[in-house]
Structure 1
Amino acid sequence: MTDLSRTGIQLHPMRQQLYDELHSRPFQQIDTPARITHLAVLCGEEEREAQLEHLQELCALLGQDAPVEAGSCFYRDFGSLCVRRETHMEFVSYTFTHLPADASADVFAETGVSALPDGWLDRLQGQVVGAFHLAVEASELDVQQQLSDAKQHFEGMRLVGSSPQQGDAHIWTSFRLHSDGFGRFLVCNRSMTPSQLGRLMQRLVEIETYRLLALLGIPMARDIAPNLAEMDAGLASITRRLAGNGGVDEAAILSELTDMAARVEDFRARSTFRFGATQAYHELILGRLRELREDEVSGHLSLTEFITRRVTPAVRTCETLGRRLEDLSRRIDRVSDMMRTRVELSIQDQNRALLASMDRRSKIQLMMQHTVEGLSVAAISYYAVGLLKHIITAAYEAGVPLDKDLTVGATVPLVVLTVWGVTRRIHKHFHALAREERSARGGKNRRSS
């Protein structure tokens, strides 16, 4: 026989872990009679570490070796008490199974936690969201006799009945908290084996646990819903104002939209996980109910009828609210885009008006510049002629034969023409530089576009 580990085939490092995952949460085998208590505890990472130390303390108190690490599922048989601990994504579950000392007493007089050391349960870390007892009793009574007997154990509450596995057992529960703070399930075993009973118990505790966890989204939905109605009305008002012909205060509207978008994102951040978990738990509940293959007990709602009638509307509420949040977020984005477009168009109009005003000012400045240039030419020519007059006077007094006044008068037009020509040449030079700069900027814009 070929040993795969001794061949040259490369094995995935998680291959063994993938195989073990299928068997990480095996079903228990439960004898009849039995008393079972199930706890579902919401906790964070620090509380999980504290729970592991707490579990190690329990093992020490009961005289067995403590686990080094929790793992996904811990199971230990302490004789008359079996402890099962499972870790899930947001909660940890404990299942305590106890064999009653006196099966003839009240079925809930002894529970799964009756055999725990005194005070141990009081120090359990985390928030308990689910806590209920399951009593398993052998029974050959018919439904009416079972019902009469079951009513004595549920404090007069209205019962829900179920007959799973083609009548091999009957289940009675009220889906309510009793005077001890626990829920209660009574299972009348007719012909189920310990393995079948273990699978039935696992489905029941999962149905009840997931039912409670699925409903955690309802308080959040009820808290968010009025705010969504208010924001929806506010967004509709903003849209009507934008659709009107009158002027609007863009800055004020953008501020309103920003505040509204921030609130919606806050609601989405707080509710996305919770609403997604609600949907996931609901799907798990429906799957477990299908696995029960239950029949209706005459005159009573079955587990499937009761849960789908009460839980499904709550799940639909969370789904609807989640869709409303997404829809409101998209609508706010669209209105914000409209506002940004209006603001951009307004800015473009302002820029065009500003450019036109700058163009007019440039023309005025050019006219003023030409005027100043004329005055500058006259002033420079005046001072230049004055300098030349001194030179001509000095030459005349030095004996140069010339007519001083005529010579001075002849230099005036020459000086004026020279100054004017030099000024024009300087202007042409600067205009040529400006045209080159505009041409270079235009070519760069064309290449970038």
Structure 2
Amino acid sequence: MTDLTQTVTNQPGFELHPLRASLYDELHSRPFQQIQAPARVTHLAVLCPESERARQFRHLQALCELFGAPVPAQDSSCFQQDFGDLRVRRETHMEFVAYTFIHLGAVDAAIPAADAPFALTALALLPPGWLDQLHGAVVGAFHVAFEYSELEGKQLLPQAKRNFEGMRLIGSSPQQGDAHIWTSFRLHSDGFGRFLVYNRGMSPSQLGRLMQRLLEIETYRLLMLLGMPLARSIAPELSVMDAGLADITRRLAGNADLDEAVILAELTAMAARVEDFRAQSTFRFSATRAYHELVLKRLDELNEDEVSGHLTLTEFITRRVTPAVRTCETVGRRLEDLSRRIDRVSDMMRTRVELSIQGQNRALLASMDRRSRIQLMMQHTVEGLSVAAISYYSVGLLKHIITAVYDAGVPLNKDLAVGVSVPLVLGTVWFVTRRIHKHFHELAREERSAEARRGSAKQAEKK
């Protein structure tokens, strides 16, 4: 015994992952319960955003305080505690919190009549007013009554009908006839749904697993259908946008004279609307698919047989909810398809606008080229006038120099000297002007070459 204890308690020398223990505990976080027939169970599924989880947990703590029981210090994925004849189980999920209340006492003595399994529920054992202060929106609320009977399904049918207010029943015999399940999948006069289970040979553990499957089937079925109203509200809007997009595409294909700015504004508004719908529906439609898969899995685990010609739970649910799931999937695909089509038409419009801008740029460049040529001709004319003007003033300056030299006693012919200087000055001024002009042209060519090299480098980077 000592060796075994040391083997279990001694820690290994290698490093352990900090989440190792929680990974083991995760498999046991929501254990199956054991149910003894007769029993009364009430299940609530409450939609609760993350911001409300703390308030709801404090509400659970208040329940423990009212019963004088130990109060949990922190929230967990599954809380379960017995308060005398009442067992309370609370499970937290991604978007909802599930409460299961189980009457553990002798229900036969408390029920006025043996054939009224829903006359007394587990909710009667809760403190007055506690349930009214529950935070969140209740989407699923139903009772599950467990009775023991050795009768066959046909013999139990008259008794079962009396407990469903004359509604049409759906029934099955799971686990090779060890139990009979009856329900109507409708709300009754008390505002709750109802499941009636007759146990014929199941052990408490098997009955607990059956209860868990029924609770999950009904809860996930209701949550799965939350996407249907959203899909119905979005579908007409998609039809309108689809028609509008088709009209824009036809006008583009016809090369009509369009106002690109107006069309782009319409496409932008349409794209924004589609993205809004996608933001509203992406999580809901994904949740619908996930819940649908869970429902089908739980129904398959029931291993049902038909009872006296009635639809089984699997037949009824798959016949009714599968079209709803298909509708959500269809609307989701239409949203994605419409979003892609809007992107393609927007690309076409942007290409059209870019081509129009390029044409305008070409016309502008041609106009600038014409103006440049005119300016160049004017520049040549001005250059000729400039040469003449500079030469005139230069000859005037030389005339003063020649006069000063003559007055100083240098023998020369003033008129001849001035006449000879005129062509020399003209040639010199013209030569200097052309050199300056050529220098500026070389600077311009170098700048254009540098711009061309920068453009080529940018294109290479993009590729």
Name the TM-score class by shorter chain.
over 0.9
Equivalent position SS for 1:92? strand
Aligned partners of 1:272, 1:437: CA distance in 2, in Å?
A: 55
Contact 2:154 2:308 in 1 (8 A): no
Alignment counterpart, residue 285 of structure 1, candidates 292, 295, 312: 295
Alignment counterpart, residue 64 of structure 1, candidates 60, 69, 72: 69
Q: For 1:130-157, what per-residue CA distance to the aligned partner results, in whole angstroms no more than 9, with x for missing partners?
A: 0011111122334344222222221221
Equivalent position SS for 2:412? coil
Q: Report deviation, 1:37.
A: 0.4
Q: Report deviation, 1:207.
A: 0.4
Residue aligning to 1:147 = 157
Matched, 1:303 2:313: yes
* Structure 2: segments with no counterpart, 5+ residues: none
Which has the larger displacement, 80-89 or 136-145? 136-145
Alpha carbons of structure 1 residues 338 and 74: separation in structure 2 relative to 1, 3 Å: same
Residues 242-261 of structure 1 mapped to structure 2, 5 A cutoff: 242-261=252-271
Alignment counterpart, residue 375 of structure 2, candidates 357, 360, 365: 365
Matched, 1:211 2:211: no
Q: For 1:53-112, what per-residue CA distance to the aligned partner results, in whole angstroms no more than 9, with x for missing partners?
A: 111111121121111122111111122111100010100000000132424522111112
Alignment counterpart, residue 92 of structure 1, candidates 94, 97, 106: 97
Contact 1:86 1:94 in 2 (8 A): yes
Q: For 1:150-201, what per-residue CA distance to the aligned partner results, in whole angstroms no more than 9, with x for missing partners?
A: 2222122111111111111111111111111111111122222211111111
Residue aligning to 1:53 = 58
Contact 1:33 1:103 in 2 (8 A): no
Q: Report deviation, 1:421.
A: 1.2
Equivalent position SS for 1:132? strand
* Structure 1: segments with no counterpart, 5+ residues: none
Residues 71-86 of structure 1 mapped to structure 2, 5 A cutoff: 71-86=76-91
Which has the larger displacement, 247-256 or 14-23? 247-256
Contact 1:73 1:87 in 2 (8 A): yes
Equivalent position SS for 1:186? strand
Matched, 1:188 2:198: yes
Q: Report deviation, 1:216.
A: 0.4
Instruction: Tell me the C-alpha RMSD between the 2 structures.
Output: 1.8
Equivalent position SS for 2:122? coil
Which has the larger displacement, 137-146 or 75-84? 137-146
**Identity rate of aligned residues, in percent?**
75
Q: Report deviation, 1:373.
A: 0.4
TM-score (norm 1): 0.95
TM-score (norm 2): 0.92
Aligned partners of 2:349, 2:10: CA distance in 1, in Å?
A: 66
Q: For 1:257-309, what per-residue CA distance to the aligned partner results, in whole angstroms no more than 9, with x for missing partners?
A: 11111111111111110000000000000000011111111232111111001
Contact 2:112 2:119 in 1 (8 A): no
Equivalent position SS for 1:312? helix
Residue aligning to 1:337 = 347
Residue aligning to 1:115 = 125
Contact 2:111 2:119 in 1 (8 A): no
Amino acid in the other structure paired with 1:65 = P
Q: Report deviation, 1:23.
A: 1.0
Equivalent position SS for 1:311? helix
Residue aligning to 1:169 = 179
Residues 223-234 of structure 1 mapped to structure 2, 5 A cutoff: 223-234=233-244
Equivalent position SS for 1:185? strand
Aligned partners of 1:12, 1:351: CA distance in 2, in Å?
A: 65
Equivalent position SS for 1:439? helix
Matched, 1:437 2:437: no
Contact 1:38 1:133 in 2 (8 A): yes
Alignment counterpart, residue 407 of structure 1, candidates 408, 417, 429: 417
Alpha carbons of structure 1 residues 447 and 315: separation in structure 2 relative to 1, 3 Å: closer
Contact 1:41 1:129 in 2 (8 A): yes
How many residue pairs were aligned?
Answer: 449
